[in-house]
Amino acid sequence: MPQKKIIFLGSKPIGYDCLAFLIDKREELQLNIVGVMTQPRKEFGDSHDLLALAADNGIPVIAQLDELPECDIIYSVQYHQILKPDHIAKARQIAVNLHMAPLPEYRGSNQFSFAIIEGKTEFGTTIHVMDPRIDHGDILFQKRFKIPENCWVNDLYLLTYKSSLNLFKQTLSHIVAGNYHGVPQAALESKFGVSLHYRNEIKNIKEIDLNWPPEKIRRHIRATFMPGFEPPYFMLDGERIYFSKSY
């Protein structure tokens, strides 16, 4: 069986772990990883360096999307740029994205925070076909799970991280073999709803109004207090007063 050419786009610890698994399985699945694209994220430390992982395994690093070569599969895991139609067309078989949230209800960014703010009891992770719209393509695989009571955003992130990595590992061979069936997200919108959030929205939900009901304040703090990032705050005499978490 001829090797399939795959390009991996990813960042953050989940991107690193998925690429490491992909590298480990490339001989078994007859894969040729012809390129990696990433964006270094210092807030996650030095232990998840995708550039070093690619270099150690002889995988070329692609600098720009317009330099994407022809391939069979494009696989995106927490990649920061939106692919245009001509980028997606580089994949002869399929271009897929691992989105760390349930679809269609949480497209875009900051999905963990909004789920907590909105009092959701269920969350999940999704592998879907990439199209030019954000997190919009047909769903191929999805895993849902319960959100623990009084969950903090970092706890939900870690739960989703574990579920996402497992879903990636469990379905990689199916993606490579073409063993999948897409479900249009429109077919699920009446059941789950739909939303799209952007990166800069996190700035608004971190500002706490002390006149809010106590439960709303608690939810916003739980939803936005993430180690390594600016904490939630309230304004006092024109100055930001940050919340801290005691253990």
Digit-coded pLDDT (tens) for 179-212: 999 999 999 999 999 999 998 899 899 999 999 9
DSSP state of 42: G
Helix axes of 12-25 and 153-177: crossing angle, nearest 10 degrees = 30
Q: How many angstroms separate the CA atoms of 247 and 242, rounded?
A: 16
* 191, 228: one domain: no
CB contact at 8 A, 162 and 119: no
* 43, 111: one domain: yes
pTM for the predicted model, two decimal places: 0.92
The string of pLDDT tens digits covering residues 27-78 is: 999 999 999 999 875 655 567 889 999 999 999 999 999 999 999 999 999 9
* 235, 115: one domain: no
Domain hosting residue 30, numbered range: 4-197
Domain total of the chain: 2
* 104, 151: one domain: yes
* 232, 220: one domain: yes
* 106, 119: one domain: yes
Q: How many angstroms separate the CA atoms of 158 and 144, rounded?
A: 14
7: left (phi over 0), alpha (psi -120 to 50) or beta: beta
Residue 187 sits in a domain whose CATH number is 3.40.50.170
Note whether residue 247 is domain-resident.
Answer: no
How many CA atoms within 13 Å lie on the side-chain side of 174? 14
* 58, 132: one domain: yes
* 25, 110: one domain: yes
* 135, 205: one domain: no
Please state the φ and ψ torsions of residue 185, each to the nearest 5 degrees: -65, -30
CB contact at 8 A, 227 and 157: no
